[in-house]
Amino acid sequence: SAVISQKPSRDICQRGTSLTIQCQVDSQVTMMFWYRQQPGQSLTLIATANQGSEATYESGFVIDKFPISRPNLTFSTLTVSNMSPEDSSIYLCSGGRGLADTQYFGPGTRLTVL
């Protein structure tokens, strides 16, 4: 299994500001993903973080709003830009080692936007 950490664990932000969430994996993983979990909801995939290239976004998510970086195989960041209260969610990163390998999740970042 992989051990995944995220920072910060939670934050309260003002609307119009941006927050960058960091995700660190303890071993090299091939695939890294970012998910959003809105209050009381299930997880929705935001994007696949690709090493050294632009992330692949799912329908309904755009790079201007959720820029993602992945400079190496063990680290990725997600920025939530120009935040509004609707962005209040838990953001989780996950990693897996192969095309169909099991994904392991970080502990999540609980974001509240006022």
User: Least distance from C-beta 46 to other proteins, angstroms?
Assistant: 11
State the residue for tokens 């990163």: 93
User: Least distance from C-beta 45 to other proteins, angstroms?
Assistant: 6
Q: Which is nearer to other proteins, 50 or 79 (CB)?
A: 50
Q: Which is nearer to other proteins, 19 or 46 (CB)?
A: 46
Single-letter residue type at 12: I
Task: Round to whole Å and give the CA distance between 93 and 2.
Answer: 12
Identify the sign of the CA torsion 70, 57, 42, 12.
positive
User: Least distance from C-beta 106 to other proteins, angstroms?
Assistant: 8
Task: Round to whole Å and give the CA distance between 79 and 23.
Answer: 11
- How many residues does the structure list for the chain? 114
Q: Which residues bind other proteins (CB under 8 A)?
A: 1, 31, 33, 35, 37, 41-45, 48, 56, 90, 92, 94, 96, 98-105, 107-108, 110
User: Least distance from C-beta 32 to other proteins, angstroms?
Assistant: 10
